[in-house]
Amino acid sequence: MSRPRSYTIAAVLIVLFSLIGLFFELPNLIRGPGEIAPGEEGPPIFLTIVNFTLAILGFVSAYGVWQVQKWGVVLAIGVAALSILSGIPAIIFAPFLALRVIGVVGVIWSAAIIVLLLRPRPAPAVA
């Protein structure tokens, strides 16, 4: 079975997105709810747990997409859609412009993954 190029690109994007998500969410998860700096609230612990869970599920879905499994594609689309939904509060409520930009990039990245996975497979060449 041949893997479509869009699946390969999507799997790589999912792994990178999950690694970045773990890199940013693991310190928040370890620290727990509270202040990130004196006088500054951190992200809500619920969003931290959701984003951490989505990062873990991202690795599982990337494996499924890489193996061209239908469950992997469905899981990856679901994870990307939930990532878009969890990124919207970052765009709206982030206290710094840099965090808003990161939220926008995350939403665009997740949308790109969905588009890549929903692209139709090329038809085999007829001889």
> Beta-carbon neighbour count of residue 74 at 10 Å?
14
How do the pLDDT tens digits run along the chain, 127 residues long?
688 899 999 999 999 999 998 998 888 888 877 655 566 666 777 888 888 999 999 999 999 999 999 999 999 999 999 999 988 888 898 888 888 898 899 999 999 999 999 987 766 767 6
Structure tokens given for 97: 């412009």
CA distance 52 to 91: 18
Q: Which amino acid is at 41?
A: E
Cβ neighbours of residue 65 under 8 Å, at least 6 residues apart? 7, 10, 11, 14, 72, 73, 76, 117
Q: What is the pLDDT of residues 64-95, one digit of tens each?
A: 999 999 999 999 999 999 999 988 888 898 88
